[in-house]
Each structure stands twice: as structure tokens, then as C-alpha cells.
Structure 1
């Protein structure tokens, strides 16, 4: 097992993040961003393996686990975690790096790559839709719209109280009683419930959805389309690997359609026997895909 350590960083953005770090300090750096409702532990298999050859960095993002949980929805707009990412890299003395993101972490990674491409050498996305493709699909693909109705539910006032009332049931709903939730070691279940039990954690995690500008129409709704869907969209320029668990019920494989027009140097790896939480459903397949890409 590779030795990994946990450190807490007070960032220039005003938050403190708990961060898992490992690998040789002089090695090429990889920063990993987790999604909802997880933490750096979603990368536990990948960090342990990749730390043999790379400097690995995986924060618990703002609002999660024991990292800072600033009050107010406005503190969870996507620009805030993007700023945290670069502030953390600065604190570690990392100029350029490979950026890896899953779910919400992937959304932040897409944004960071589009907004500050000079610092991101390579991009790895796991089951996280490109912002243009995702918004377009929510208008044009009724299967994806149906799969994303949970976002509307998460934006409902008071949802944090409903979820916090039974965190065990929340674990089963998210990870699936017949899927990875049923096969997870008891200590994994306990670890997640402990993270969600931290004061303000559920509210802060839901605030990521409430702060986002993404429009999720109801199934019987036809709102006005955002103007940017009819305009040219910036192209991601750095080499990009997209890993997709093809059994994802929340984010369908339709999110891969049209990516080649939005990413100049794209490689897609499809993992057929994995769902949304591909990082620990098929950890070795993810490791092999990332290693092959970085070679």
C-alpha cells in the first residue's frame, strides 16, 4: 500500500479543505475532484495506485465532510470551487497539473479547463457531462430530462432535513441496495454516514445544486432555451480523457454525443459494467484508463 497522508489547508479563498496527498513531490501532479455526495475517499483506489508514480492531491471540496461549509447558497456557485482548486494548487506550489474530476468534481474540472487552460496539462472526466451537452440534453432528450429530475428535488427547500433524518436510507438510495451499496464494506458505509453527519454537511452539499445555473425543466415544461445553446461554444484544447460508466441511470451515455466537436483532443473509454460511481464500482478499469492516457 502506498502511504497517503491527510493535511488541512487554509486557502486564500477563505475556506479550509482537508486534503489527501501522496507520491513523490517532484513527480508530475494530479489533482482529483470528487462529486456528490462523496469526498476524497471516492478516489481511494486510484490514489493508492497512482501515488507510486505521481504526486496525487485529492481535497474534500467545500461543503463536504469536515472541510469548511460557508453559509449561503452564493458560496457554492461553480466559480467558488474552481477558485479553491487553483488556490490549493498554489498552496502546494503546483503550477501545472493533470486534473481529474467525477460528477460535480467533473463539472468543476470542465469549467476550470475552459477558464484557465494554461495550468491544466491534461483533463480526465468521469461520468460528468460537458456543460453545453448537458444543458442541451435537458431540453432535447426526454430520457436525460427524466433522469435529472432529482436535481429539482434537491433544490426543494427543506430537502436537507428529509435526507438528514435517515442517513442510512440516503446511503441506500444513492448507492443502491442492490448495487455497490449492498457490496460496500461496513466501514465504507460508516465512513460516508460520518461525513454526512457533520454539522451543515447535507445542506452544503445540496447548495451545489441550488447555486448552479443549469436549467432542469419539469417533464411537462417547455421553458425558453438559453441563448448560448444557439451560439458557438469554446473548445477544450488540452488532451482530454472521458471515462464513462455506461450503466449510469442519472447521466445517460447520450452525454458523450457531440463531445468531439467541443474537445479538440478527445479519448473516450466506455466501461460497460459500471454505473455512475465508476471510481469504486470498477476501480482497476479506471486506473488502467488513466495510466494509459498519461503514458
Structure 2
């Protein structure tokens, strides 16, 4: 009888402790926070497109010099929730010297582009629709897509529905094709590639991810489509994380790019939720002949199986391994990065 009483008391204590913890967690989640994070500023080159989709998109255009190439280059940045770094403009802008018009734009909800009022509108389909409208605005027959990380998956979505509009694609450390085939996570890379594991920042990012306020922001956004926090606050949390996780995007953590404050918090939170609703683009790309270059950094954190899927899906593809670089090849090997792209486009 005594043991039974002690068990009841222990159970009651556990229940009330848990209740108190949840109450405190919810309370903290409702308190706005002020994050001293940088805010990205417009550049002298910043221009805007106002698209029929309702998106106001910030972009930089570097005009091709000399004899113009027929098709422009469009850069698709990573994320979702990433943005165009100044380093991207400097690196890919070098290709304009060879006649290519180069366009780099911040996806809606990111960088210098406008934030959407409704969280649920941040979807992979919306990003694809924006890209389709941008290409219509340019009025060109075809485009060359350069997709970084998630930007690679976005390029696949576009190419699947608009194969005749794509001249060539450069995938740089592409993220998994959406919807994700998780079985590819287990595919091991050949030893001959000499891939290296990058620094893992997960332990240092986790306290930010589990912050009661950020957890609450994510839950309200994903389950109810409601902005519990302002765009500035949501962007600030993603920027705070970026200061940590970007050290895992390079081979040498001391060469991680400095954050410019362009992270798109709500874009990041909801776009990934939409992946499961996508129609599989692989079916439409069967037997396609689009020329493709897949570039992988030696220390890229993306599992080899996901990289290999691009090589298998695009039969007219080649792989280029960039030594001493991580997920952000342009950060550590900018000259080699641009040179490999130029070499591919010239053939």
C-alpha cells in the first residue's frame, strides 16, 4: 500500500512538472524577441520585377559585353529562405565579360524581395511560377539555369514543365530532387571521388532551433498559416542560425561567408512543407536531352545519393568535383567555379 501511494505521488509530481514546463514554454513562445541581426540593404544594381503572381522580386542584371550570347544565365539561390550574396554577383558576374546576360534574383520572401502576407503562399509551386513569369518578362527563347542547393531542385521543377525553354543547366551542390526519395540517403559515394565530411554545426544550431519563441513561430506558421512574429523577427532567427550553419558549408570554416541579413524566415518555414504536395517531375524528364553540369564540392554535406540522382535523371550530364570546397563552392573556389561553368557553356 505504501509503495502504491509513493507511485501515485511520483506520477502526480511528474504530471504537474510537465504541465508547468509546457506552460512556461508556451508563455515564452508568446514573448517577442529583439534580435540584433544585420538587415540586407539594396545595392546600386538592385532592380525590381512586379510579377503577375503578385511577387515583387529584387534582382541584379549584369549585361553581356561584346558579342551577346543568345540565352541569358539565371541564378537560383539556395534555401529555401536563402538569398543572393554579394559574392554570387561578383563570381557569376564575371561571365558577363563573355557575352552572357546574367540575372540573379532573390526568391519571394527572401533577400531584398517583398515578403508575402500569407505564410501558406510560400510554396515550391509559387517559386516555380515566379521563375516562369520572370522568363516571360525577359522575352527570350531559352535560358541557362544555374541552381545552387535548393535552387537546383527548383530548376528541375521548371525544366520538367518547360523543357523547350531550357538551353542548359548547371547544378552546383544540388539539394535532393523534390519530392524526396529518402532511400538515396544511404547510397555511398565511390572512394575514388575522395569526398570529405565537412564540419557539422548541428550541436550549435540546435539551441536556436529549440528556442521556445522560434518553435512557436514555426508551429503557428506551419499548422495555422499565421505569422506569430513579424517578418523581421522570423528573418532574424534564420539569420542567427545562418551565422552558425554556414561554417558547415565550406571546407575551411574560417572562409564561411559573412551573413548579409537576407534570410527569409517564413519562406524557409513553409516552402519545405509544400514538397509533399508536388507532382513528381522525374516522370516528365524521362529521356530528356538537356545538357547538364553537376558540380560538387569535395566537402559538400549533401549525400552522394541525391547528387547521383541528377546524373541519372539527366542522361546528357557530366560531374565535376571541385577540390577544397564545400557546399558553397563560390565561397572558396570562385575563380574555378566560374571557369568550369564557362567551359561547360562553351561546348
Question: If the TM-score is normalised by the length of the shorter chain, which range does it land in?
Answer: 0.7 to 0.9
Map of 2:295 onto structure 1: 243
Q: Is the 1:244–1:253 contact (alpha carbons within 8 Å) kept by the matching residues of 2?
A: no
TM-score after normalising by structure 1:
0.75
Structure 2 equivalent of residue 38 of structure 1: 82
* Whole-Å separation in 2 of the counterparts to 1:178 and 1:279: 11
Distance (Å, rounded) in 2 between the aligned partners of 1:178 and 1:69: 26
Structure number with greater Rg is 2
Which residue pairs with 2:63 in the alignment?
23
Q: Which residue of 1 aligns with 2:123?
A: 77
C-alpha distance in 2 between matches for 1:86 and 1:126: 21
* Residue of 163, 166, 185 corresponding to 1:120: 166
Q: Take 2:147 and 2:282, find their aligned partners in 1: how far apart are those partners?
A: 27
> Are 2:286 and 1:234 equivalent residues in the alignment?
yes
Equivalent position of 1:175 in the other structure: 246
Deviations 1:250-294 (A, max 9, x none): x12232335443112001111132111122222122111101100
Match of 2:145 among 95, 99, 102: 99
TM-score, normalised to structure 2, is 0.65
2:273 counterpart of 1:210: yes
After superposition, the Cα gap between the structure-2 partners of 1:278 and 1:57, relative to the gap in structure 1 and judged at 3 Å, is: same
Q: 1:42-53 alignment to 2 at 5 Å?
A: 43-53=88-98
Does the aligned pair in 2 maintain the 1:114–1:236 contact within 8 Å?
A: no
Once residues 86 and 117 of structure 1 are traced to their aligned partners in structure 2, the CA distance between those partners, rounded to angstroms, is: 12
Q: 1:51 is paired with a residue of what secondary structure?
A: helix
Shift in CA distance, 239/71, structure 1 to aligned 2, threshold 3 Å: same
Q: Does 1:158 align with 2:217?
A: yes
Q: 1:95 to 1:270 in 2, by over 3 A?
A: same
Distance 1:142 1:9 in 2: 41
C-alpha separation between the residues in 1 aligned to 2:249 and 2:151? 25
Query: How much has 1:23 moved relative to structure 2?
Result: 1.7
1:23 to 1:229, Cα distance in 2 relative to 1, 3 A: closer
Equivalent position to 1:62, from 108, 116, 125: 108
Unpaired runs of at least 5, structure 2: 1-43, 189-199, 222-228
Q: How many residues align?
A: 265
CA drift at 1:167: 6.2
Query: Secondary structure, in 3 states, of the residue corresponding to 1:135?
Result: coil
Question: Is the CA contact 1:20–1:40 (under 8 Å) kept in the aligned structure 2?
Answer: no
Partner of 2:18: none
Partner of 2:326: 275
Greater mean alpha carbon deviation, residues 103-112 or residues 165-174: 165-174
Question: Any gaps of 5 or more consecutive residues in structure 1?
Answer: 216-225
Deviations 1:111-147 (A, max 9, x none): 1111101111101111114527x833x2353589xx9
Q: Distance in 2 between matches of 1:233 and 1:157?
A: 39
